Amino acid sequence: MGQKSHPFGFRLGITEAHRSRWYAPKALYGELLVEDEKIRQYLDKRLNKTPPSASVSDIHIERTREELKIIVRTARPGIVIGPKGSEIDRMTEELRYMTGRKVAISVVEIREPDLDAQLVGDGIAEQLKKRMGFRRVLKMRAEAVMAAGAQGVKIQVAGRLGGAEMSRRLDVRLGSLPLSTLQANINYGFSESHTTYGVLGVKVWIYKGPYTNAEEENQSNAAGARARARGRR
């Protein structure tokens, strides 16, 4: 049986940039690493798990000597910002109290949610929780991804599908999916659906085509964010 590699980790430092971009001495590294995880958990609970969901796909963290910068990628920026910026101001104050540092939150809009694997996975997990037919859900979402402009998609669901006594795995695949090609822009997402008969795991791979020289919408000027440019030379 072939060994699987995480699509993001496989390309990290070559065509993908780190999601936490900062440098710290050895004595502080562990503390800041745990702090990053706490920030992500707080924002995920606040924006994704508390209705209405803001459809946050990814959170990037950058640190300088004076400031902690958080970049939130979301399909619904209005919910993150709030009326007259009230919600983002409240989160900034709470994160400043949590970390003891000056905090700046930037919001990046995801213009095509059907091309974001994490949002597609979260949507499927939510539909499975409502007991919709899993075959129909997977087929509809895969077709929607292809219609949005993807060159390939694979969706995998595993667990007690339909309340069956034995767990199993179901895959739906459309188009091409070159997982071993470093220059292939593969977007990967994982989500869980907590149903009355157990937990279902949802994995989504979306192939958007080869990387181009165009800057990604979430590209940063930080040193760790220039990996994609180095990988194309």
Cα separation, 196 vs 193, in Å, equals 10
> Would you give the DSSP letter of residue 181?
-
The residues near 227 (Cβ < 8 Å, ≥ 6 apart) are: 12, 13, 14, 15, 16, 17, 18
Residue type at 227?
A: A
What is the structure's pLDDT at 163?
85
Residue type at 69?
A: K
Share of the chain above pLDDT 70, in %: 90
pLDDT digits (tens, 9 = 90+) for 178-214: 998 899 999 999 999 999 989 999 999 999 999 875 4
pLDDT digits (tens, 9 = 90+) for 112-165: 999 999 999 999 999 999 888 889 999 999 999 999 999 999 999 999 998 888
* Residue bearing the bigger pLDDT, 200 or 229: 200
| Mean pLDDT (whole number) for 26-40 | 94
> Would you give the DSSP letter of residue 12?
B
